[in-house]
Structure 1
Amino acid sequence: MQIWEWSGPITIAADIAAWFILHMSISYVFTVLPERWFDGLHLTASGKELSFYDRVLHIRRWKKRLPDGAGWVGQNFRKQRIEQNDTAYLHIYQREAYRGEWCHYISILPVPLFFLWNVPAVAWGMVVYALAANVPCILSLRYNRARIVRILQRRGKAIPAYLGKMEEDPLMD
């Protein structure tokens, strides 16, 4: 339900400013949340799940085009691709991908605010934007986490991090 009615340019400026502030604020909050909140939360990965990502969503074709917003909010750990093959790195990646996944889920939640100052057609466009800007990132992060789970399962999960580099895994890109 639209409460405020502004001119077109002011509404556009409010939409852009609101999304920018929301995205940056939520992203920043997630960078400072304790690591322990995201540790130990592991996805199970089946061959069917990975097959769905590869064969139905064709995720390998488009996931590399997604931006990695980690640098925009001062986070050093990049999640655009799995860059190392050692077990310690994979556990960190899994945690940080889970953190990023939740950041994108939460970034969708403020979309009802846009119904306060936009006409319904534009407000529904904001819903489409929120989903388009976040769902592909969620899928990419889930896909990479599932790949990591498969790698760790093949290694027996209990391999100590201090062992360093492991043999190359065919799931690594």
Structure 2
Amino acid sequence: MLRLVMPQALTVLVDIVAWGVFHAATGYAAHRLDDRRLARDGWLLRQRPFEDRGRWYRRRLRIHRWKDRLPDAGDLFRGGMSKRHVPTYDVAGLETFARETRRAELAHWWALFCGPLFVLWNPPLAAVLLIAYGVLVNLPFIVIQRYNRFRIDALMDRRGR
């Protein structure tokens, strides 16, 4: 496999900048997605049986205890929306919130999928550590978005959509 060889200090700098660029680029790409593309869960975003409408995250991960401690950059780009609070509890507000959780989840999945690019210029151990970093940084946000969306979906079902 072809691997770029750089001095160690430069490699570390490139790794830091690369993660920043990957997160910014995937966040911006998700921000630019048309709302119609986010109206429904696709294959990646759909609920899995074990998730039990988000209850699994609450029971096993105790997500309700730590999710509000993580930062929210949903309003980083102009026109974006923070997911700290549901905008309104009418159907339109709940659908908007669910759509924005899909957008955020996709951004974090895409950033996580950038991890294997680190094998192009890092030694194997460093590449594994950088990929693990990407998983550790993005997975909690993916879990939070899924948990919130499943709760919103349950609320909309109770209200009769």
TM range, normalised to the smaller chain? Answer: 0.7 to 0.9
Query: Contact conserved, 1:45 with 1:149, CA < 8 A, in 2?
Result: no
Q: Which residue of 2 aligns with 1:164?
A: none
- Residue 107 of structure 1 pairs with residue 111 of structure 2: yes
Identity %: 32
Q: Which amino acid aligns with 2:129?
A: G
Q: Which residue of 1 aligns with 2:71?
A: 67
1:30-89 superposed Cα distances (whole Å, 9 cap, x missing partner): 111111100133856989343211110100111111211223333431113435322211
Task: For 1:44 and 1:120, locate their aligned partners in 2 and report how far apart those are by CA, in whole Å.
Answer: 34
Q: SS of the counterpart of 1:72?
A: coil
Q: Which residue of 2 aligns with 1:138?
A: 142
Q: Which residue of 1 aligns with 2:5?
A: 5
Task: For 2:123 and 2:23, locate their aligned partners in 1 and report how far apart those are by CA, in whole Å.
Answer: 22
| TM-score of the pair, normalised by structure 2 | 0.88
Query: Contact conserved, 2:57 with 2:63, CA < 8 A, in 1?
Result: yes
Q: How many residues align?
A: 157
- Residue 89 of structure 1 pairs with residue 109 of structure 2: no
Query: Contact conserved, 2:5 with 2:121, CA < 8 A, in 1?
Result: yes
RMSD: 2.1
Query: Contact conserved, 1:45 with 1:147, CA < 8 A, in 2?
Result: no
Query: Contact conserved, 2:111 with 2:134, CA < 8 A, in 1?
Result: yes
| TM-score of the pair, normalised by structure 1 | 0.82
- Label 1:148 to 1:85 Cα distance change in 2 as closer, same or farther (>3 A): same
Task: For 1:155 and 1:126, locate their aligned partners in 2 and report how far apart those are by CA, in whole Å.
Answer: 44
Task: For 2:126 and 2:85, locate their aligned partners in 1 and report how far apart those are by CA, in whole Å.
Answer: 34
Structure 2 unaligned spans of 5+: none
Larger radius of gyration: 1
- Label 1:44 to 1:132 Cα distance change in 2 as closer, same or farther (>3 A): closer
Q: Which amino acid aligns with 1:24?
A: A
Measured after TM superposition, the shift of residue 102 of structure 1 is 1.1
Q: Which residue of 2 aligns with 1:151?
A: 155
Query: Contact conserved, 1:26 with 1:103, CA < 8 A, in 2?
Result: yes
Task: For 2:47 and 2:131, locate their aligned partners in 1 and report how far apart those are by CA, in whole Å.
Answer: 30
Task: For 1:123 and 1:45, locate their aligned partners in 2 and report how far apart those are by CA, in whole Å.
Answer: 30
